[in-house]
Amino acid sequence: MAVEQRPEIEALLAEERRFPPDPTFAAQANARADLYEEAERDFEGFWARLARERLDWSKPFETTLEWDLPFAKWFVGGQLNVAYNCVDRHVERGLGDKVAYHWIGEPGDTRTLTYADLKREVSKAANALLELGVRTGDRVAIYMPMIPELPIAMLACARLGAPHTVVFGGFSSEALAGRIDDAQAKVLITADGGWRRGKPVNLKGAADVALQSSSSIENVLVVRRVAEAGEPVEMRPGRDVWWHEIVDRQSEECPPVPVDSEHLLYLLYTSGTTAKPKGIVHTSAGYLLGTSYTHWAIFDVKPDDVYWCAADIGWVTGHSYIVYGPLANATTGILYEGAPDTPAWDRWWQIVEDYKVTILYTAPTAIRAFMKQGSDFPARHDLSSIRMLGSVGEPINPEAWLWYHEHIGGGRAPIADTWWQTETGMILITPLPGITTTKPGSATFPFPGVDADVVDGEGRSVPPGGGGYLVLKRPWPAMLRGIYGDPERYRQTYWSRFEGVYFAGDGAKRDQEGYFWLLGRVDDVMNVAGHRISTIEVESALVDHPAVAEAAVVGKNDPVTGQAIFAFVILRTHAEPSDALIRELREHVAKVIGPIARPKYLLLTPDLPKTRSGKIMRRLLRDVAEGRPLGDTTTLADAGVVELIRSSTGREEE
């Protein structure tokens, strides 16, 4: 697992451009420079102060941190309710009429939810879950489009202390079934569908297939979203219940259940280096503090801001920075259901103009997709409301950074390039607007209280200018508490590579001024359009097809999606190579995992490059995929193989 020497990174480190904070922005910024010193003096005391100031407790905590490496407990002895902190307390303080979400459906329908509306809807949904037998501690699976009932469902679970596991609506029924089984979820909340590029996505149909092969679900709660458009929906009597039939008639009162700080808030499944996704465990108080405080400090959120995190709630970015963090801060947010190009490539800029969005948080892959369409689309709209921008999901290349800065941020808005993971729960490496001088392409510095380092293969800190592996050296409040049901895998995956520190799986460099530059994954995880997909997951999906004998998958650099999936496939002897078969194999992966995992390139090959011990040499396959000269081939069992692959045909491009 060597950190590859990438020429583009060397170019980055020579990056001369600096963007110092604008004094006018700095004068009104939420963050203060002395936060770094305060947190460094006593990081536990820093988080304890914030936990007392920013959260409402049913019972105050006694111990800030119990750290039994690698198991952390934050705010021990305390009790609170996450939904109360996100909704009720704002209503009690007179913010009932403040908008929580402006929702925009892809077809153009809209809904506005105030904090009072949210309190009512969340309470009714929680009462419906109670009627279906959901109790504190029971797991609820959620498989929904980006409609208001999605955050409502999550908060209804949190109100009862029933952990949720949200499965991204773009995942397949097989992926959904696996997550339901692992979580042993009792109820599934879904919708008859959602709108994407003008077409309904049949979620209920996929859910029904998932339920044929999973056994724990007793009831399915179904939101009606596309049925009005004449889409047929099958409801199984005794199991399936329409949301409007059960939720609408519930009482608007539902007392929030106080839970321990370390009570399980949710599971979110993410790809690792094996075929089986890991259920990342997030608990209540520390997670809520970490997400809400970073949201406030990094995005400089003020009471009148209109904040838009354009991720899907099905990913951790949506959990932390659309739902929990922003709501705990009583923020007004935007929720958009559909695709950025529907009906045209200026849909987002129309939304920014219509709602006077002030803060926008999105991913480099989206920025590059907009760049590709040209700056005319944003130029047609009044984007002058924007005062702050954020980026997340993958390294942002300076070209995209500068385009974002100029064409979306009007050359004024600071950009926060935020590094974090599903596992970290909250942003950990980021500039603070008004304080940090940014450099395009660098996520800059660890957040106050966070101790990050770059180490070599032996775990020794690398001096400025050098590259290595990114590690985290002390616990933080929103950190994962484990992998659901598998403490040993938790220890193995994150805490065994280097003694006593958290191994993030990312390569990083620090320049002479101490700025962090993230270099991408150093393990077998690909990052496709900001989505984590493991090479092994795709390989397992391929070999699951009767025509496939063996498969190896690598990420190939892609100008829009960061990486694209490149699959090398050896067919079984009975299978006839053809374009139709290549298409079928690509579709098969989309069916097994979800459309985001459909290989962009698929090459049929007679053999794969292996070491003498039989390990596939992905490094050489990456060379082939990139069309560059081969690296060292001396450890290959059969040196002729790569040339054989190069001359193979059957490469499919989208």
Which residues of this chain interact with ligand 7RM, rule CB under 6 A?
270, 316-317, 392-395, 417-422, 443, 504-506, 518, 520-521, 527, 530, 532
To ligand 7RM, the closest distance from the beta carbon of 35 in angstroms equals: 20
To ligand 7RM, the closest distance from the beta carbon of 172 in angstroms equals: 18
- Helices first, then strands: H and E counts in the chain: 23, 30
Q: Judged by CB, which is closer to ligand 7RM: 153, or 528? A: 528
Tokens of 362: 């999105």
Q: Which residues contact 16 (CB under 8 A, 6 or more apart)?
A: none
Query: How far does CA 56 lie from the centroid of its chain?
Result: 27
DSSP string, 154-197: HHHHHHHT--EEE--TTS-HHHHHHHHHHHT-SEEEEES-EEET
To ligand 7RM, the closest distance from the beta carbon of 509 in angstroms equals: 12
DSSP 616: B
To ligand 7RM, the closest distance from the beta carbon of 364 in angstroms equals: 8
Tokens of 448: 């106050």
To ligand 7RM, the closest distance from the beta carbon of 396 in angstroms equals: 7
Q: Judged by CB, which is closer to ligand 7RM: 169, or 256? A: 169
Reply yes or no: is the peptide bond before residue 343 cis, omega within 30 of 0.
Answer: yes
To ligand 7RM, the closest distance from the beta carbon of 584 in angstroms equals: 29
In this structure, are residues 98 and 300 in contact, taking their beta carbons and an 8 Å threshold? no
- The whole-angstrom separation of Cα 23 and Cα 190 is 48
Q: Judged by CB, which is closer to ligand 7RM: 250, or 527? A: 527
To ligand 7RM, the closest distance from the beta carbon of 464 in angstroms equals: 19
Q: Judged by CB, which is closer to ligand 7RM: 81, or 421? A: 421
3-class SS letters over 251-276: CCCCCCCCEECCCEEEEEEECCCCCC
Q: Judged by CB, which is closer to ligand 7RM: 123, or 362? A: 362
Helices (H), 426-480: none
Tokens of 348: 């987002």
Dihedral class, residue 184 (left if φ above 0, else alpha if ψ from -120 to 50, else beta): left
Q: Judged by CB, which is closer to ligand 7RM: 256, or 530? A: 530
Q: Judged by CB, which is closer to ligand 7RM: 174, or 417? A: 417
Q: Judged by CB, which is closer to ligand 7RM: 90, or 532? A: 532
To ligand 7RM, the closest distance from the beta carbon of 544 in angstroms equals: 24
In this structure, are residues 247 and 167 in contact, taking their beta carbons and an 8 Å threshold? no
DSSP string, 323-375: IIHHHHTT-EEEEE-S-TTSSSTTHHHHHHHHHT--EEEE-HHHHHHHHHH-T
Tokens of 440: 């395009």
To ligand 7RM, the closest distance from the beta carbon of 493 in angstroms equals: 13
Residue 606 identity: P
Q: Judged by CB, which is closer to ligand 7RM: 153, or 443? A: 443
SS3 390: strand
